Amino acid sequence: MTDTPAAPALTGAALIADHARRLPDAPGVYRMVGESGEVLYVGKARSLKKRVIQYAQGRFHTNRIAHMVDLTRSMEFVSTRTETDALLLEINLIKQMKPRFNVLLRDDKSFPEIVIRRDHAAPQLRKHRGAHSIKGDYFGPFASAGAVNRTLNTLQKAFLLRSCSDSVYESRTRPCMLHQIKRCAAPCTGLIALEDYARLVEESEAFLRGKSRAVMARMAAEMQAASDEMEFERAARLRDRIRALSSVAQETQVNPETVDEADVFALFAEGGQACVQVFFFRAGQNWGNRAYFPRVDKSDSDAEIISAFIGQFYDDRPIPRSILVNVQPFEHELLGEAFSMKAGRKVEIALPKRGEKKQLVEQAVTNAREALGRRMAEGSAQGKLLVGVAEAFGLDAPPERIEIYDNSHIQGTNAVGGMVVAGPDGFQKNQYRKFNIKGTDLTPGDDYGMMKEVLRRRFARLVKEEETEGEGEGAARPDLVLIDGGKGQLDAVLEVMADLGVDDIAVVGVAKGPDRDAGLERFFMPSKAPFMLEPKSPVLYYLQRLRDEAHRFAIGTHRTKRSMEMKRNPLDEIDGVGPGRKKALLHAFGSAREVGKATVGDLMKVDGVNEPLARRIHDHFRK
């Protein structure tokens, strides 16, 4: 008796047809799975049976879909109660499994928010990202750290709320610099009663909830009352706070009058690539925008792309009351129903035809077109390296401005600090800065103290420039700070930045390897164990170049200072001795040392030296 050979396993269209015969005529989600178990595609259907059989019959197939069908080795199904449930499940599975043949939102990082903490007697105003685990009021999303920083800057100037951590707050014995530049009321040292501070907190919350006009009107009335009572100093403080709030219109570029809470999505696709530009409007203010580049195929329609993108975008994010688009999403009514069910209230998806809303969408389209153009033109190694830097250090996006710091001295003498700047266009040499170390209380060779002085001066200037509406090149805020050194230098720098209220900038310490071997550098970041990069990693080579450039600049600056110090003549320090008299004195006596030995009478014999000047020279060398 011979064994009957096993029937060959079904694949592709035959496999799909076999499954379709047993599927219900009911809503659900299906998954196509490849040979190695990878999920090729996730889809939803009002009728699983009718939808799946289309793949077996070859209906409306593009070459891409036909290829997907050929690769299918198994299928999985989930029945749902309604098509809306199926849509929500499909969105969730696509984000989890990242199937090869689905439109995919690739950048899925959370957005920053602003939180007013309510778990302290003096609530703290700060930037927040992630789960709402802190007791407080949350406002957002903001499109980027820059958008948050601009709003925080305004709130600090207008409402004087503290941004320091609780440990810094508890340890203060005198007000910090933020109080001195009128950006904090200093509740830490009792310069404002907690009851009055609480009123500032409530005003800031009202502003963030869109009641800015009422807040400004109240401030204006207080200012007038203070002026009438001849409390001109208090009136001036209120005037400055009103100015800070009125500057919001300029800082946020566009503040619509008819849109209180909405997200604007604009899709622009070309050459098999797509960009979706997202603008966020909350409390009648523009809270920033961000460009996304989802993974798409040339065969995907604009309606399918925007529908898939928006669905994945809100899978784990709060949904606003209104979503404005430039392309009507595929099955937009179903998508709106799913969002409304998820949010627990009505969510409108609209394609505006006229008025201010249409203008907002058109502005977003322009931004999407320009962003995609830049993306397609950006094939340079520099862009890829900055993406690698962002991945290595867990940044939200490739850094636009990197500042690298190094110090140089010989046993503490002629000490200087150097700052070099790099970005998408390479080294920005017109942004380099040198810092002559001025601290008189520093121990010679105190690298920690020197680094603290350099960073304090740099970021105190940044805070001051931001106070004056960002005027001047010093207002440029880095996305990443690299310092030469390990944990000690990192802790010293973090202490300074926390004191100045700029502790939201990523800081990384770069420690040289044993025997200063290149390739064995260790990187130090807050709340993270030291780590190394792959020895032959292009990103590591790039970071080495940044560090070496900072080292070169610091050493060059130090050598120039030392050379000038060595060439400096004691005669240069004497008032009344210019180049001509200096030349005559050196010609007469041969050197500055011999000038110092001369008597007043001998000095008076030199042409141009009278008795008062001769006595001044004589006394200078005998101090």
Average pLDDT over residues 325-354: 91
Q: Give yes or no for residue 581 having a pLDDT over 60.
A: yes
Q: pLDDT tens, 463-483?
A: 887 776 544 344 588 999 999
Q: pLDDT tens, 117-126?
A: 988 889 998 8
Q: Which of 181, 166, 110, 102 is nearest to 140 (CA)?
A: 110
Tell me: do 500 and 433 sit in the same domain: yes
Q: Amino acid identity, residue 72?
A: T
- The reported pLDDT for the residue numbered 47 is 92
Q: What's the mean pLDDT when you consider all of the chain? A: 82
Tell me: do 307 and 178 sit in the same domain: no
Tell me: do 335 and 473 sit in the same domain: no
Q: pLDDT tens, 343-370?
A: 889 999 999 998 888 999 998 999 898 8
Distance of alpha carbon 595 from alpha carbon 591, whole angstroms:
6
In a domain, 292, yes or no: yes
Tell me: do 401 and 366 sit in the same domain: no
Q: Which of 290, 296, 318, 324 is nearest to 309 (CA)?
A: 296
Q: With 0-12 CB in 10 A as exposed, 13-18 as middle and 19+ as buried, what is 251?
A: middle
In a domain, 7, yes or no: no
Q: pLDDT tens, 398-457?
A: 998 999 998 876 554 567 888 999 988 778 888 898 888 776 666 666 778 888 888 998
Other C-beta atoms lying within 10 Å of the C-beta of residue 175: 16
Q: Is 485 helix (H, G, I), strand (E, B) or coil?
A: coil
In a domain, 363, yes or no: yes
Last residue of a domain, one of 377, 410, 438: 377
Q: Which of 383, 387, 409 is nearest to 398 (CA)?
A: 387
Last residue of a domain, one of 522, 547, 565: 565
Tell me: do 401 and 525 sit in the same domain: yes
Question: 388 versus 250: which is more confidently predicted?
Answer: 388
The CATH code of the domain that includes 306 is: 3.30.420
Spatial CB neighbours of 410, under 8 Å, sequence gap ≥ 6: 558, 562
In a domain, 1, yes or no: no
Q: Which of 110-119, 192-201, 207-216, 286-295 has the lowest mean pLDDT?
A: 207-216
Q: pLDDT tens, 31-66?
A: 999 988 899 999 999 999 999 998 888 765 677 888
- The reported pLDDT for the residue numbered 240 is 75
The CATH code of the domain that includes 26 is: 3.40.1440.10
- The reported pLDDT for the residue numbered 249 is 45
Range of the domain at 584: 570-620
Tell me: do 435 and 548 sit in the same domain: yes
Average pLDDT over residues 547-569: 73
- The reported pLDDT for the residue numbered 253 is 47
Q: Give yes or no for residue 223 having a pLDDT over 70.
A: yes
Determine the Cα angle at 71 with ends 66 and 73, to 5°: 125
Distance of alpha carbon 143 from alpha carbon 394, whole angstroms:
17
Q: Where are the alpha helices (DSSP H) in 160-258?
A: 166-171, 177-180, 194-208, 212-228, 232-246, 248-251
Last residue of a domain, one of 356, 377, 398: 377
Tell me: do 550 and 580 sit in the same domain: no
Tell me: do 93 and 54 sit in the same domain: yes
Q: Which of 344, 394, 411, 381 is nearest to 545 (CA)?
A: 381
The H or E element spanning position 435 is strand 433-436
Q: At what angle do helices 232-246 and 212-228 cross, to 10 degrees?
A: 160
How many domains does the structure of the chain reveal?
5
Tell me: do 557 and 477 sit in the same domain: yes
Give just the sign of the alpha carbon dihedral 541, 547, 551, 557: positive
Asked whether 592 and 457 are in contact (CB, 8 A), the reply is no
pLDDT over 90, % of the chain: 19
Asked whether 395 and 479 are in contact (CB, 8 A), the reply is yes
Q: Which of 1-5, 118-122, 374-378, 503-507 has the lowest mean pLDDT?
A: 1-5
Tell me: do 204 and 285 sit in the same domain: no
Distance of alpha carbon 174 from alpha carbon 188, whole angstroms:
8
